[in-house]
Structure 1
């Protein structure tokens, strides 16, 4: 069996890995360098932001994926010696106006959670802004160093003789199976490649490639800043008013992110830099003592309610999709890859696929 996976972000890489473990011949292609879009640009929080505000379909994927990440990190380290730095640093939600909902959700989903009053907030997070009054702390939420995870996945895939990695290989057309013809992709070079299945994991570019299917996936730009502080200065990840800080073990701190409807423009802007510097000051004022050391942007695959499309593409036999994870591409990736692989290989799905099935176009 031969499968072409289109798109080499976190979902494409993990999908290719799942399929390769079933001894399927894989060609993984990307229009640019491998793993250089939203998966690289994101922060690496292994949880949806405000998880209690998401639909059950997102929760099902995220809870499955969170349980899978420790094994994935260990397997990759044993395989290629790259440490993805999966760290259970916990996530503090500052001044949430729906803390009660968070507590109810946590109880229903067996997640540890703590209500933190003003005194304890000051004691445990002394660098918070003065108007931080209350908090909700999820101690078991982890983070992962996403660029290192992507590097580890690429290195792991290169170990398989039946996996072909093709960066700088743009797909311009996808055709489903017809009669005796297999599904196929046509490359910008003019080359046509046939396969038993095509799996589109092209993130924000998915709707372009599957235009006939009218999937409502759009690019949403996110910009990030990076600071450098002494390791351990910030004791956990912090989220307030939709913005976050992610402290790495080596003292790098990520501050993000913006939500911008700018089409496929992935450039950074001075306006967003100023906005994020102001955000950093409201989250942890001490960060502003030094200027940011880095500023970048990426394009997320936006989708309605953040529910991804995972399944067979209607009216295109042999064509499948795994895209539209929006702000949770990395969070949901192990579960998304497991589900699409089960479906493509006609195995019993490890999760109920019903909520993620792409709809036929009107």
Structure 2
């Protein structure tokens, strides 16, 4: 595997959502990721989050399973798990025995509520975690209820990316101290952290709790989406005065004095209606021809099928096709240690990967039980 994390050894305890996405990020960057999963786990050919991994099927509740995993942990740099607090401890794989076997191990724990607190043992999903952080309340239209922003804010942004940042931070610290540590990554914490700028705006009196009536939540006429003559949408983000002036010029409203007071929030509802009338006069493609690539801060709102076909995304190879699936390419970009693209180099089989990690034949037989899946 190529990439800046080449040589990093990661054990992923198979789970859902943010854990697999974090492991995918590390694998995309060249880490060797060994995914431990239950025997009989079906292989989903459409599971993009599972790309770049080696799979090892182990029954973690079977006698001796913990010893087998601890043997792998001795050779790993990172372990990622996403179970409820206490599950890994009951399996004999909590931080204490793992760090005893490998004092340099970075032990990443991904949960919704965190390892402690009154809700730590409660079930939940992305929508619950971002609700508790304050983020969900802020998303939606004025006079309407909160709108779930898919599961991007909790699972992936406030969860997986926070954990990946924590893992790499702990690895950097371990280079100096020679010691690993435990990372408690909670989606409630991460979603709150993503909201830092808004909390600052609110403290300064520049953001209210009234949903859909603020600068960046669709309240402003110059920062919103608009329907076009063909029913498709465009996105406008002309915040700065010079960009706003260009938008007015291109939309032929430069001489309309109603649009002069850009930051008068009391005028925003009426100006949104006026601007909506303007955008309904042309199709989305006609607006693209007029505005795209200019400083008017414009983009067409593309669906999942259109986005990979856009010329900018194609020029940057933002999406790739591997194993018949169109999927986002690894990111960010590196000038030297360029990662492999998905599908260009298959992940090694478990036996091959573990030999690379230095396990001998006897150790291999212990961790590759008869009948287990090792592909």
Give TM class, smaller chain. Answer: under 0.3
Larger C-alpha radius of gyration, 1 or 2?
2
Which has the larger share of strand? 1
Name which structure has the greater RCO, CA cutoff 8 Å, separation 6+: 1
